[in-house]
A and B are shown apart, each in its own frame.
Chain A
């Protein structure tokens, strides 16, 4: 059924057209004008987007908003698996006030309402402990600008979500756009960032870094602005770091340090910027880098590492099977807690120590590199670590 190029289809399964076919250009230019003028600012427009989207699901027509014609549909028959349906039903009953988190996802989907539940059901990562912190942040961030989702999302969502199985991303995108007023001032610039906020929150949280009412960037997220929106909940003294911004090479950051000699393994200036250290694991084919400043306790670091290295323990590298991943995740946790592996670090003096013996702040100041070792290899480490810290204190 599908043509070699993506073409605009009629049956309620429309795809984005590829290339410069006039139909698609028209749609896009009309879309473009719609986007430029931001017609869908405000509740009524938003709901019209949703409702027209919804109607197109059943009728497949291109009435009203041209956006529909360019909306992405899941075109493959039989794509929708039974468990997805049940997910949707489950999600549609989720609390409405959690919806604002993911304006990306059309609220009619019900998907946005409780991603954490989705994740938990589909993936046995330990998100539950992070979700509370997550809700806090979410509320802090989205007091402003996303209120419209609550109002319009609820009705259409519960009615249409079940059994539809379509995920028109566009309506989500449009909705995001409409939260943001025309940027024309420095002050407004803050609200401009809102659109990345939700994504920020979502993307940042899923790797299971608990919040301390003060979200920190772990991936390329616009943290600085999230922070400004969180001023009520926290007042950080130093500027929060966004990964990779400003775009300066690490070796350059090293020469900025006030100390004349700098540690090659550690990027950035102490005190305010990121602190990347390499993490290797016995038997793993490649090493990873973590930014120690994004964690504030050993537990956070430990769970992040569990996640990163889970695939190695069962040799599941490259495996895309969800069940395989779950298995290795929990198995690694068991292994780590059952002490088959221990986390060690190399300090400034070049000695290998067990992680966890010294206060966190002291640890990040002296840690040059991390290594996940087999317990059997790490036997000699414990006494020395304790001794060293005794000598220091």
Chain B
């Protein structure tokens, strides 16, 4: 019986349980396990900051050391969520500052962070170690200065892809000379114009950080400084270069090449802004050890890419522009048999005509040649059902498949049919598929396939697809594991949504923009489902100034135990009982 088993023993056992799902399961066994578990949980992940409040989190888990929060919906990455929508971290930092003096780690994604919040973080948590701001915004380098100055034991400062107002590199000088604890520094999103002072501050910082393993520089760091940095940090495992072009004199080249060869543990390379092909051989000495190569900021053409890639036999992850072309991907398929993840980005997405020869052939070749391929993000201009059949047949182990055919509603270019069957084959064969993004011409049939087969699918992104509510109905009623659904410009309306309202409580969130969901349906949903926040986002003005049956511009529905949020801007309305009565 629980009470006769010492609490300390249980706590000790629980301390080996790391995964959130397992921890959640443990807490449901019985009341005493719930109590014990909540006191010893040290790490929490909150996928939607509005699903819960800081107070609720603190009340249940009084001893957290690591908090991860996500704010805006994924489509915010593509400017679909208006500025000011929300996702503010300040109230969280305020509450945690009081409740968790021993907090060590804060990881935020798509949240709005102010300089004041950063200052508060730097001063409230004496043992603060890890700050990861992924795709965040709202702060300047002044906020970073507070972090640098006050966090004595800082190990990680990772600003990946955040939108930071860069007031110069002086904040680097705020790291005290005594700070030697840095393990990871990612400032690649910062600006390209730094003073010499800032650059030397960076050099000194790197020089006194013997534990530095991950260093991602920004564009401001010129190539001739890179060799110095590398010589000070030969223990690096991950490197993001700064600008990779300069007047390359022979001595600079050999210096650089020598510096790279000194970094025997390098596994990941990125950066390469403005890379000039003649500079690339400087990295050849470490290519055989590379498992991850990110060239998605480099305008290197196919033949040079191939030369580089063929040196990297152990590559597991490759991010690259479509400059690689089909021929380059065929070469990739030949040389990199350990490839697990491929992302191909469009170099000129807005051009009317394709600027490179990148077609479905390239992806088919990689699917044939790379047996471990499981994650794909591929932008191209044409595709066929047959290609999808082949990919599905070759790679049943796919877990993430995101295909973006650049022109919306493009059919199979040979048969001119929709790509329903092709994607159907993907979901049918790839039984472990967790993430899928669709594109091309698609009817309701593809959703029927998805609903029938994609039982492990957790995240689905749909754009310009489908014919009717039936499409949405198939997805909501069939995809058992669905957590995140994001839809834009599809003719999905009220019926399917209202018929599957209960499903929405089993998901993290649903985003629908430029669809056909009426304001009336939103109100109804909000009224009937108190544990859902139904947010209508409409920049045209209050929804009640238009007829009820007008579709709303954007709709964001998420489950929440926090009730409607209180920090909404003027163009967001939460549908709930009260609002409906007020508006009627």
User: Given contacts A220-B80, A224-B407, are A203 and B553 in contact (CB under 8 A)?
Assistant: yes
Number of inter-chain CB pairs below 8 Å: 288
Smallest beta-carbon distance A329→chain B, Å = 9
Stretch among B17-25, B188-196, B250-258, B390-398 lining the A interface? B188-196
Greatest chain B CB density within 10 A among A81, A122, A170, A247 is at A247
B3 within 8 A of A: no
Which residues 127-175 in A have Cβ within 8 Å of B in the complex? 167-170, 172-173
**Interface membership of A213, Cβ < 8 A:** no
Query: Chain A contacts of B501 at CB under 8 A?
Result: 6, 18-19
In the complex, the answer to whether B193 meets A72 with C-beta atoms within 8 Å is: no
B78 on the A face (CB < 8 A): yes
B4: interface (CB < 8 Å): no
Enumerate chain B residues within 8 angstroms of A206, measured Cβ to Cβ.
540-541, 546
A220 in complex: contacting residue of B489, B500, B548, CB < 8 Å: B489
Interface centre among A74, A182, A286 (most CB of B within 10 A): A286
A288 within 8 A of B: yes
Chain B contacts with A in 401-450, Cβ cutoff 8 A = 404, 406-411, 413, 416-418, 437, 441, 443-444
> Once the chains are docked, how many angstroms separate the CA of A250 from the CA of B189?
11
Inter-chain contact A18/B499, CB cutoff 8 Å: yes
Q: Does A16 contact B (CB under 8 A)?
A: yes
CB-based nearest A residue for B418: A183
Residues B549 and A249 in contact, CB atoms below 8 Å apart: no
Residues in chain B near residue A123, CB distance under 8 A: 541-542, 545
Minimum C-beta distance from A234 to chain B (A): 16
Main secondary structure on B side of the interface with A: loop
Interface residues of A in 44-102 (CB under 8 A from B): 70, 72, 74-76, 78-79, 81, 87, 102
CA distance A192 to B466 in the complex (A): 10
User: How distant is A380 from chain B, measured CB to nearest CB, in Å?
Assistant: 23
> Considering the complex, which residues of chain A in the window 264-290 have a beta carbon less than 8 Å from any beta carbon of chain B?
264, 267, 269, 272-274, 276, 278, 285-289
Contact A177 B352 (CB under 8 A): no
In the bound complex, what is the Cα–Cα distance between A207 and B569 (angstroms)?
A: 17
B542-574 CB mask vs A (1 if < 8 Å, else 0) is: 101111111101100000000000001110010
- Cα A118 to Cα B549 in complex, Å, equals 13
Please, how many angstroms separate the alpha-carbon atoms of A291 and B108 in the complex?
27
In the complex the two chains form, what is the Cα distance from A119 to B538 in whole Å? 15
- Given the complex, which residues of A lie within 8 Å of B580, measured CB to CB? 76
Q: Which residues of A contact B460 (CB under 8 A)?
A: none
Asked whether A180 and B467 contact (CB < 8 A) given A6-B501, A106-B549, A224-B408, the answer is yes
Asked whether any CB of chain B lies closer than 8 Å to the CB of A17, the reply is yes
Q: Is the CB of A322 within 8 A of B542?
A: yes
Which residues on the A side are within 8 Å of B161 (C-beta)?
Answer: 249, 251
| 9-residue interface stretch from A313-321, A341-349, A370-378 | A313-321
Most chain B beta carbons < 10 A, residue from A31, A173, A276: A173
Q: Please tell me if the beta carbons of B467 and A118 are within 8 angstroms of each other in the complex.
A: no
- B274 contacts partner chain A, Cβ-Cβ < 8 Å: yes
What is the size, in residues, of chain B's interface with A at 8 Å between Cβ atoms? 98
B373 contacts the other chain (Cβ, under 8 Å)?
no
The residues of B that contact A288 with a CB separation of less than 8 Å are 82-84
Query: Which B residues are CB-close (under 8 A) to A274?
Result: 79
Which of A169, A242, A278 is in CB contact (< 8 Å) with B493? A169
Q: Which 5 residue pairs across A and B have the least CB separation, nearest first?
A: A16-B498, A244-B78, A286-B84, A167-B549, A311-B570
- Beyond the given A31-B470, A167-B547, A285-B84, please list 19 additional residue pairs across the A-B interface where CB-CB is below 8 A: A6-B528, A16-B495, A72-B495, A118-B546, A123-B545, A169-B516, A169-B521, A172-B549, A173-B495, A180-B467, A203-B553, A206-B541, A243-B79, A244-B79, A247-B404, A252-B345, A256-B348, A273-B350, A318-B569
- Some 27 contacts from A to B, beta carbons below 8 A apart, are A18-B501, A28-B473, A35-B444, A36-B444, A74-B520, A78-B584, A79-B584, A122-B545, A123-B542, A169-B518, A172-B516, A173-B468, A183-B411, A186-B413, A189-B410, A189-B411, A199-B551, A203-B514, A224-B408, A238-B350, A255-B273, A272-B350, A272-B351, A286-B83, A287-B84, A319-B570, A325-B541
